[in-house]
Structures are given as structure tokens and as C-alpha cells.
Amino acid sequence: MKRTLPSLTRVAVAGLSLAAVLAACSKAPDAADAAPVPTGRVEAGRLAAIDQEPGQWLTSGRDAGKTFYSPLDQINAETVSRLGFAWQFETGTNRGMQATPIVVDGVMYTSGVAGRVYALDAATGEALWRFEPQVDFKNVRSACCDIVNRGVSVWKGRVYVATFDGILHSLDARDGKVLWQVDTLTDKTRGYSVTGAPQIAGRNVVIGNGGAEYDSRGYVTAYDLETGKQAWRFYIVPRDPKLGPEGAASDGIMARALETWHGTDWDRGGGGNAWDAFNYDPELNLVYFGTANGAPWSRALRSPGGGDNLFLASIVALNADTGQYAWHYQTTPGERWDYDATPHLMLASLKWNGADRKVLMQASKNGFFYVLDRKTGEFLAGDKFVDANWAERIDPKSGRPVENKAVDYDDGKPRLVFPSGVGGHNFNPMSLSPKTGLVYIPTAHSGFVLTPVTNPPPRLPQRSQSGVQIAFASMLADPKSVPQHLRHLADPAFLKTQPSIEMTATLKAWDPIQRKVVWSAPARSFMDHGGVTSTGGGLVIQGGLDGVLRVYRDTDGTLLKEITVGTPMIAAPAVYTVGETQYIAILAGSGGGGWNTWFPGNAAAEKGNANRILAFRLDGGATPVPPDVPAPGPLPEPPAQTGSAATIADGARQFGVNCGGCHANFPRSPVPDLRRMTTQTHGAFKDIVLRGALQPRGMPRWDDLLSEQDVEHIHDYLVSVQRAAYADQQKSAPAAAAPALKEGHL
């Protein structure tokens, strides 16, 4: 039976925080309200023989190697002009949707915001059951990049999903009933969250976590598929050696890692979190994962004596049964530019130097495309696929980058670096077509300026601690607008020696054997680099933040078809059949990095961000497009300013540290613009922030991290901001009344 969630596109109070656009607390599925469905059985033998079942999509990337390739060819270069709408499923949420659905025997399983799960009829979109977990939104306080979820795993009649607050669930694939659940987070006082998909690895399911922008120490954990009992845990970076061994699978190798950290402030965490990019080779029984940047970014803070800082920014292989270290390859030794090695890890066989070679491939955030031997970790190739000035090249013998010392900001000076923290390629899946031999990569071109923070404070629990100031390179286009200490970087003579500071995104076809770009699609907005899927019909399919689904020819990048859906798309599509009909399905909803405001060209700015799952087929109908969202009305009249210059200044600092990562205070964004607070919200401000008056709707309480005085100062600052904005509004339209907004207006 299909149940409709409450609308989440409006809020009850204009002062709601980050998760305000979620409904009131989610609930577990009602067994009486869920019609049992087929078991969705996926087993090792079936997955190994996936090419004998071309209509199935059994993992996030369809096959065991996660190539995001479907051999189906009913929809092809000749027939794609007939592609049209088949069905849609509205989730009732309006945040980031990043998962690729799994389709088994006509049933679609996928995750949504914060770890919800939906089981749908893959031919009609009818809801068979849904799982709506209770989520502790305290973790939202330390979420760099939205409360997204990148997918489920389906195995032997069970669906595995991890919620944003770190709870790993095993669900019955027939009805969504919880079979077991376990808390994967070790320290709730630090900035952890979970957004990645669980990885089935032999008899275990493996999950990591995020939080390297905060004060976390990354690790991965394996749990028994049947019981949920912890099998092993592997820590990614060392802890204070005075504390001794931890009884973890990583104990043996941590002595080697420790040698690469020098003068470390252990309290800051270290980072390295494995928040995405897992894969598994059943023949080698190795589980692979990529690790993130350091916490903090600045090596001068986390390891003042320098060093490679293992296992930051690394690809790591472990024995799936025991968690014992097998090998690693560090993509960015001593990482200090936010170059996580967490993008999609793809397993494939290539004809390498005339012989078949089982490889692991990654288009990394640092701008290099890597090919490694997946049994030994041997470096085979590493080449730039986007502009990257942090390193000249990769040394073929050592596999180490030859760094450009001119962009190392450890000396305390601002540096212009490419790629930016957005990455040359991020989590958005790439695809390998065996027909063309090409890897299709969603890429971004952008640089940023990094300036070390002078006199950084000690660790602030669950707060961002990068240790650097960050500005996108595009601001250098107007030298008059940049701070004095960056003026030398805006010098035209200097900029001529650097990559273009224009920020763009491009779909590129990469030949991993010839090690070069074969074709590039026309560039779009730099955040518009959604995941891609290729097919046996000679197609490459990619959704856009502009709300347009595009289909390209795989050999030369010719645009063959566009479908306007009106909702932004980030995820990669799944391609499958039910009966004789081929479908293309994609999750739609903007969110992720830069989630707290809508960049230019993002369809959510005009159409809103109502989350949907959309499916298309040949001879389908017209795709429903959401109506335009009305522009925000005038600002309400603010209260009198009671704070002093000193309290306002302290409030501005407190807001930046605690609130600004979510509340960008833009007119159009997924979280409330606090310049629009009503009289009611102002009166309840302390109850909301400190005592969790709106916690049931997702606004976490802060009484464990902020004092009453802190909150009073933050409120003083926000009143000053609202008064300034209101005064500007009155100057531009002095005769216009500015009525207070109705409660519920976003």
C-alpha cells in the first residue's frame, strides 16, 4: 500500500535549521501497511554471472566491479529520440538525492535523505514498502555536505543501509522489517556522520564514515551479514601512541603509519575518513576503500614536522574476513588541499601491455586518473585528466607525485591551487564501456586560494577545523574585490601563468590505455557534474543540476537527446528491464557540496527541490515539470537592536563557527534565511537553539556546545543582520509596506 509522507517543502517556523526541510520525526515501517514483495535475492554466483542477466542492476554500479555499464540496447542511438516519461515516485523530502537504485527481479531498492529506504515496483513506481528510520539529527551540526545517502546494498534477501547518524540496518527485502541494527560510531562527541553505501564483502558488510572537516578520526568497520556482530575495525590514521594498541585489525600497520606523522596534535582527530568509494574483489577476498583529507587540512597544524601522514588520501586494500592490511597506494602524500581519495573505485580487466590485467581505477579529486594492480597495489599509471597545478606529474618508478612547491601554503602564504576542494572528479560515479574501452568521467574545473589561519584555536568539538581560509579562484577576476593579502594573486601577469580561473564542469571520455581524453561534452556550471552510466546501445546518460537529462553518443560525445525534468540531478542512472521493456531511472534532488544555497543554473532555484525518482522508456509520455516556486516576499520588520557592538561582534564569530555552515542566509536555499525570522521565532530563539524546541523537525539542540550567553550573542548578531537587510529594502522601496511573513514561509 502506498503511503504519502507529509510535505517537507515548507517549514513551520522561519528559524528552523539545517534539517528543517525534513518532516517531523520519521518512523519505522508499519508491517501491516507494507505488502510483501519478492525477496530481492542477490548471491555471489548471480552477481558473478550478471552479464547473463542484462536486465538486472544488482549493485550500485550494476556489476561486481561497479562499472556503471548496462549491456541493454533497446534504447540506442537510433531509438533514443523516442525516449519519454514512464513514471515518477515523490519521496516527500527536498534535500540531496545521490543514490543509484538497485533493481532485482522487477523490484527497485534505493535510499533517500538521511538513510530512508524505498522499495518500488520498477515498472510502475508504486511503493511496495518504505523504511523511515528515527534519526538523531545532532550529527547535522557536523555535516559538511548535506544529509545525503549514496545507496543501499541488497544481498540474500536483505537490504543494508546506514542512516546519517551512523546506525547500520539490515532489513528484510520483502517488507522492510528491521532484522538487526548496530551503531557504527565510536565517539558521539566528535563530528562523525555516515552518508555512504554499505559494501558487501564476503561474509561481512563494511561501512565507513565522514567528518574529516571536523575533529574525527576515520575508520571502517565490518559486521557479520547475518547477525550484525562486529567482525573487525580498521583505523585509518594513528592515535596518540602513549595510549597503546587498540585491539583493532589496524594495530599491526599503525606502527608504520605512525612513522609518517611528526609532532602531532592528536586531539584534533587526524581525519582520513572513508566516506565513500568502497569495492570488493571476491576472488582475492579484498575490500577496497578510499580515504579522505586530514583533520585539519593544514598539515602544519596536524603534523607540524611534515610527513606523508598515512593513510590520508589513500586507496587501501584489506582482507575482507579479518580486516588485515594488504596494501595501500597514497594518491596525495601529506595531503593538505582537500584531495580525498574517495571518488568511485572501479574494478575491471584491461589489456595492459598486451596482457590481461585486473586493475582498480580511480579518477581522483586531485586531478589524476590512476590505474593500479588490484592484487598488489602496484602503480601502473597516473595522468592528469583536468588542470592540476599542485603536482607536475607522477613519477613512474615510485608512483609518487612530483609536487609543485609553489602551491604549498605551509609557509604561511596564500596559494592558488588547482583543482579546488570540489575536485577534478568527486563522488559522482564514472562509467566504463567495454564496447568503446572508454571511461566516462564527470569532471569539474575550478581552483581555490588557500591561506593558513594565524593563531588557530584549539579543537572545537564537532566544528569545522580546516585551519585555512578558502576562496574560489574566480573571485580573482576582479582584483578590486579581493582582500589586500590576495592582490598579488589577482595580478593579470600572474594569472596568465595559471589555469583558467573560470569554473566549469565537463563530461569527459578517457582512454585508460592511451591515457588521454578522447572527447569532452560542452562545459556547464562547475557544480553540474552528475554521475554517468553507459549502455550497450552506444549511449552515455547524465543528469544535470539544471534539471535536464542528457544522452550522448559514446564514441564522440554527440548530444542525442535532452529531457527537461525540472528537478536537479546528481546521481547516476540505473538501466534495467521489466518484461520486455527497458527503463532508465534516476534519483532527482540537489544537495551535497555547496548544498546550503543554490548556485546559478541550479533548477532548484526556480522549481524548488522536491525529491523524485524518475523512470523513462521508449514511447513514454511528457515528463511532469514542477511549477516555479514563488519568489520570497519582502523581509519582515525586525525587532529593536538590544545588543552592543561587542556582543554583536562575538555573535558574528559564534555564528560563523557554529551556524554559517548551514544558514547561508540567501533568499533561495534549502534552509531558512534567518533574515526572515518572524516575531514568534525571535521570541523562541533561545528555546529553539539551546533546548531543541524544533528538534522533532530536525533542528538539533546546542546546549552541550553553546552557553546561554553564546546564543544571546548570536541572536544579537542576527538581529543586526536582519535590520541592515531591512533598511536596504526600505531604501529601495520606501513606500512599500513590508508585512511580516506568515509562519511556514521558506
- CA distances to 89, 164, 297, 357, 384 from 378, in Å: 45, 35, 27, 11, 19
What Rg, from alpha-carbon coordinates, does the chain have? 25
Burial 454-476 (b: 16+ CB within 10 A, else e): eebeebeebbbbbbbeebbbbbb
| Contact predicate 413/485, CB 8 Å | no
Q: What is the DSSP string of 181-212?
A: EEE--S-TTS--B--SPPEEETTEEEE--B-T
Sheet holding 314-319, edge to edge: 278-281, 286-290, 314-319, 325-330
- Residue whose C-alpha cell reads 525570522 in the numeric block: 677
Amino acid at 617: R
Closest CA to 411 of 456, 459, 366, 454: 454
Q: Which residues contact 379 (CB under 8 A, 6 or more apart)?
A: 329, 370, 372, 394, 396, 399
Q: How far is CA 672 from CA 18, 52, 570, 677, in A?
A: 8, 50, 23, 9
Tell me phi and psi for residue 252, to 5 degrees.
-65, -40
Which residues, 6+ apart, have CB-to-CB distance to 727 below 8 Å? none
DSSP code of residue 621: B
SS3 591: coil
CA distance 433 to 448: 33
Q: Is 511 a catalytic residue?
A: no
C-alpha closest to that of 706 among 56, 138, 204, 219:
138
Give the 3-state secondary structure of 27-93: CCCCHHHCCCCCCCCCCHHHHHCHHHCCCCECCCCCCCCCCCEECCCCCCCCCHHHEEEEEEEECCC
Check if the beta carbon of residue 463 is closer than 8 Å to that of residue 401. Answer: no
The residue behind cell 571502517 is 220
Cis peptide before 419 (omega within 30 of 0): yes
Query: What residues are paired with 455 via a beta bridge?
Result: none
For the chain, the helix, strand and coil percentages under 3-state DSSP, each to the nearest 5: 20, 30, 55
Q: Exactly one of 338, 546, 650, 673 is catalytic; name it.
A: 338
The number of C-alpha atoms within 13 Å of 23 and in the hemisphere containing its C-beta is 17
Query: How many other C-beta atoms are found inside a 10 Å radius of the C-beta of residue 479?
Result: 15
Closest CA to 8 of 693, 423, 611: 611
CA–CA gap between residue 740 and residue 13 (Å, rounded): 13
Residues forming beta bridges with residue 448, ordered by sequence position: 417, 472
Q: What number of CA atoms fall less than 13 Å from residue 248's CA on the CB side?
A: 22
* Cα–Cα distance, 100 to 103 (Å, whole number): 10
Query: Buried b / exposed e across 75-88, counting CB within 10 Å, b at 16+?
Result: bbbeebeebebbbb
Kindly provide the residue ranges of all beta strands, DSSP E only, lying in 408-547, ordered along the sequence: 415-417, 431-432, 439-445, 448-452, 468-472, 504-511, 516-520, 524-525, 532-535, 539-543
* C-alpha closest to that of 17 among 731, 711, 725: 711
**Euclidean distance between CA atoms 34 and 130, whole angstroms:** 8
Query: Which phi and psi (to 5°) does residue 741 adopt?
Result: -70, 145
Most distant CA pair in the chain, distance: 78
Residues belonging to the active site: 338
